Amino acid sequence: MNNKAAIGLVAAIIILVGAFFLFNKPVTAPVVLTQTATTSPTASSTPTVTPVSAIPTTTHVPAASPSMQVISQHQTPRITAVDTASLTSSAPRPIVTGTANVKSIGIVLDNPAGVGIEGASNIPVTNGHWTFAPAQALPPGTYTLHIIGGDTVLVTKLNILAQ
């Protein structure tokens, strides 16, 4: 095979692969975000909801014949929330509580300077409720909690008050 034929063959393969990916895109629903925590006047927390992934509600599947099929996929959103009353404490080892509809959650605790100082994974969710207490005593200050386990990462503030 001469060089011109080999280059032409490679170019044709690249064009066919590019056309396949260009014209064979699945149809997905737009991303729906749900706030998983609320604030109360007594707790000084500011929850932030960050999307982790989108939940597809429909998928386009090309059929062997010219007709098309749409397969519906209905999934329950995985939600993790924190009890805002547990975000303010004067105890050096506060107990933070919340709810979730997953088997377990993870938590990353940042100090007031924004440096991660503790993390826990596989915190069990029992009957829809979870509990977390830091392993170390925390001096007064405002800490950031990253609660991981649902379709979103919940970022909120934990306030340790001076005794």
Q: Write out pLDDT tens, residues 6-38.
A: 677 767 677 765 656 556 655 555 555 555 444
pLDDT higher than threshold 80 for residue 90: yes
- Residues 112/157, Cβ–Cβ less than 8 Å: no
Over residues 32-58, the pLDDT tens digits come to 555 544 444 444 455 555 555 544 445
Give, rounded to a whole angstrom, the gap between the first and last alpha carbons of the chain: 84
Q: Is 19 left (phi over 0), alpha (psi -120 to 50) or beta?
A: alpha
Per-residue confidence (pLDDT) for residue 151, from 0 to 100: 84
pLDDT higher than threshold 70 for residue 81: yes
Per-residue confidence (pLDDT) for residue 4, from 0 to 100: 72
Residue with tokens 């100090």: 111
- Residues 82/37, Cβ–Cβ less than 8 Å: yes
Of 12-16, 40-44, 122-126, 158-162, minimum mean pLDDT range:
40-44
Task: Report the candidate in 63, 59, 87 with the shortest Cα–Cα distance to residue 71.
Answer: 59
Over residues 96-107, the pLDDT tens digits come to 999 999 999 999
Per DSSP bridges, beta strands 116-124 and 80-82 are: unpaired
